[in-house]
Copies of this chain bind each other. A is one copy, B any other.
């Protein structure tokens, strides 16, 4: 694992949202990337991740990249496709980023399954042990649950930087942008981003489509990659 940082904004808040239940982490991060002015300040190189980049608006998007929003002193961690079983390693990388930036806090955006068909609630877990006032009425403490992947590994590792994990209740494991919209609302309240959260639900549909398109392209690309191995020698 190699962490390449062009800038080291001190005391920033780190926001991570990796693909997970209902794709909450991804949808939320994409939304933030689109609505906040950011500058790419670094990347994480990891040989275990599939060799795959996206090009978006004629810019390379590396497998894991770091984006800085100066106004709110935020660092967004953006991931394309981290593959399987890399929870511990990615968590280690995030912990290292937090140390190098002397980060104020790590905010994890994650999904959890809903016991009912409605979904839409938001929960949180904070390593500080105190209930954040700003989340009152918007999110409740997560009392019971099983958390896998990057967020699970972060919470297991006893990272020194304080962590707050926000969990949006997704109705299924399909991309759920309504649940993601709820997590953005809670994040907004928690961080004081003062984003205009009104168009969020309208945009949800757009995001969902965009993501589905990316899913298809990504699957096609991986398919091609695997086919090549079988079908070509020359």
Contact = CB atoms under 8 A, between A and B. Distances in A.
Interface string A156-177: 1110000000000000010000
Contact of A43 (B23, B62, B91, B156): B156
Interface string A116-160: 000000000101000000000000011111111110110111100
A233 B143 contact: no
Contacts of A158: 4, 43
Contacts of A34: none
B233 A53 contact: no
Interface residues of A, number: 72
A11 interface: no
A180 to B, nearest CB: 12
B233 A51 contact: no
Interface in A181-234: 210-211, 214-215, 217-222, 224-234
Nearest to A20: B228
B148 A221 contact: yes
A110 B156 CA distance: 26
Interface stretch (A69-77, A82-90, A99-107): A82-90
Nearest to A42: B158
Interface string A4-28: 1000000000000001110100100
Given A57-B144, A146-B217, A52 B152 contact: yes
A20 B80 CA distance: 20
5 contacts: A51-B153, A53-B155, A56-B144, A58-B141, A219-B233
Given A23-B234, A57-B143, 4 more contacts: A53-B156, A54-B145, A148-B224, A173-B228
Interface of A: 4, 19-21, 23, 26, 30, 43, 45, 47, 50-58, 60, 62-63, 80-81, 83-85, 87-89, 91, 113, 125, 127, 141-150, 152-153, 155-158, 173, 210-211, 214-215, 217-222, 224-234
> Top 6 closest A-B pairs, CB basis?
A218-B233, A51-B87, A214-B234, A51-B153, A84-B229, A81-B233
